[in-house]
Chain A
Amino acid sequence: MSFLPQIVFLIIFGLAAWILAKRVKFLNRNIHLGKGTTRNDQTDARWKTMMLVAFGQQKMFKRIIPAVLHLFVYVGFIIINLEVLEFVLDGILGTHRLFAPFLGGVYVAAMNFFEFLAIAVLLSCVIFLIRRNIVKVPRFTKPEMKGWPSMDGNLILIIEIVLMLAILTMNATDQILAERGVEHYLALGGLAFSGLIQPLFEGLSDMQLIIVERAAWWFHIVGILGFAIYVTYSKHLHIFLAFPNTWYSNLKPKGEMENMPEVTNEVNMMLGIPTDNPNEPPAEIARFGAKDVNDLTWVNVLNAYSCTECGRCTSECPANITGKTLSPRKIMMDVRDRAEEVGKSMDAGGKGLEDGKSLLGDYITKEEINACTSCNACVEACPVNIDPLSIILQMRRYVAMEESGSPAQWNSMFQNMETSFSPWKFSPADRFNWAEKVKEEEIK
Chain B
Amino acid sequence: MRRGNAIPLVTKRLIVHNSFNKTLNALKATNIRLPQQSSPVTMDYQWINSSPTDDLVFNLEDIGGYDLDVKEGEMISHDPNYLIAGYDESINKFSALEGTAYYTSHSLVFLAPEMYVPINQLTMYFLTRSKELSDRSGGSLIYSLQPAIDSQKMYLDDKVDFIFSSVPSNSILFIDGPIIAGDVYTHLVSKFPGFHERNIVPCFFVKNSDSNMVIDNIEEVRGRYNSDLHWSYSVLRDGQRSCFFKYVDRNNARNTKIFCYIKAFGVSPLRVEFYTTSFEKYSNNITNILNLIYYLLLVQGNPRNPQIRPIAIAEAYARETLKIVNFEQTMRSVGLKPTMNQERFAW
A, B co-complexed: no
